Amino acid sequence: MQKVLAASGVCSRRKAEELILSGRVAVNGQTAAVLGVKVSGSDKITVDGKPVSAVKHIYIMLHKPEGYITSARDQFNRPTVMDLVTRYNTRLYPVGRLDFDTSGLLLLTNDGELTQALTHPSRQVEKTYIARIKGVPDPEEMERFRKGLRIEDYVTAPAGIHIVKSFGENVSVKITIHEGRNRQVRKMCEAIGHPVIFLKRVATGRLYLGDLPRGDSRELTGAEVRYLKGLGKK
C-alpha cells in the first residue's frame, strides 16, 4: 500500500509508512494501520477520508531522440515516442510536444488532470532549451528576442537567451520560454536571423534531463511528481 500511495504522488514512500502507522489511511473504509497491506486497483484507498486515485498514475521522463514524432500514431508511419516507452505497459500521453527534429526532455503520464494543468496556456511552465544557431546574434538581436518578437499573428512573451558556447561561425545559446506554440523556438531564432541547426530541451521548470541517455526513460521520483503537481496548481 505504501508503494501505491507513493506512486499516486500523495507523498514519499517513507511518509506513506508514517501515514499508515498513524492510522490516517483506510482501505475500503477500514483503517489500515499496519504496513504491508496488499491492495489492488479496485480497492478504495483514502487518506484522512480523501480518496487516493484508484488508477496508478505513472510519470515518465524520456530523452527523446531526433527522428521521433510526439504523437500516438503517425500517418507516415514514422517512429513515435510511444515506441520508446512500451516497457511501462500502460497508455501514456505526452505532456506537450517536441518536434520530430527536436531532442530532449519529454514528460509522459497517464494522469490526464496533470497534463491538462501543465499544458494550459495560462500556466505554461518555463522550458529551457539549448540551441545551436547559425551565425552569432548581436546584443540588439538578443534584446529583441528577450522582449518579444512578432511571429505570424502573435507577439512572443518575454524570453531568455544567452550564448553558452562559440563555434566560430555559429554559437550555442541557452533559451528559456514560458509558451509552447508550434515550433516556437525555431520561429523565434529565425525571426532574429539565426535559424536553428539543432534544438534540445534540457529542462521543464526545475526538472532537468541531466545525463539520461538519448532514447532512455525513467520514472520521476516522488519529489519530482509533487513538484510538477505544485506547478500545475499555480
Active site residues: 99
**Structure letter (DSSP) for residue 135:** B
C-alpha distances out from residue 177 to 78, 100, 114, 184, Å: 28, 19, 20, 9
Q: Is residue 134 within the footprint of ligand URA (CB under 6 A)? A: no
DSSP state of 199: E
Of the two residues 17 and 129, which places its CB atom closer to ligand URA in the complex?
A: 129
Closest CB 179 distance from ligand URA, rounded Å: 9
End-to-end alpha carbon distance in the chain: 29
Does 118 participate in binding ligand URA (rule CB under 6 A)? no
Nearer to ligand URA, 83 or 101 (CB): 101
Q: Which of 25, 62, 98, 192 is in the footprint of ligand URA by CB under 6 A? A: 98
Our measurement of the distance from residue 117's CA atom to the centroid of its chain's CA atoms, rounded to an integer in Å, reads 12
- Our finding on whether 231 is near ligand URA (CB under 6 A) is no
From residue 16 to residue 55, the character string flagging contacts with ligand URA as x (rule: CB under 6 A) and all else as - is ----------------------------------------
Among 26, 92, 125, 185, binds ligand URA (CB under 6 A): 185
Rounded to a whole number of angstroms, the minimum distance from the CB of residue 119 to ligand URA is 13
> Phi/psi of residue 109, each to 5°?
-155, 165
Q: How far apart are CA 96 and CA 182, in angstroms?
A: 10
Using a 10 angstrom Cβ sphere, with 0-12 exposed, 13-18 middle and 19 or more buried, the burial of residue 86 is exposed
Query: What's the min distance (Å) between Cβ of 153 and ligand URA?
Result: 17
The SS3 assignment for 103 reads: strand
d(Cα 90, Cα 95) in Å, to the nearest integer?
15
- Cell numbers placing 165: 558556447
Out of 183, 195, 208, 229, the residue judged to bind ligand URA by CB under 6 A: 183
Min separation Cβ 133 and ligand URA, Å: 12
Residue with cell 515550433: 183
Instruction: Please select the residue that binds ligand URA; options are 146, 186, 226, 229, rule is CB under 6 A.
Output: 186
Can you give the binding site for ligand URA, defined by CB under 6 A? 98-99, 102, 183-186, 199
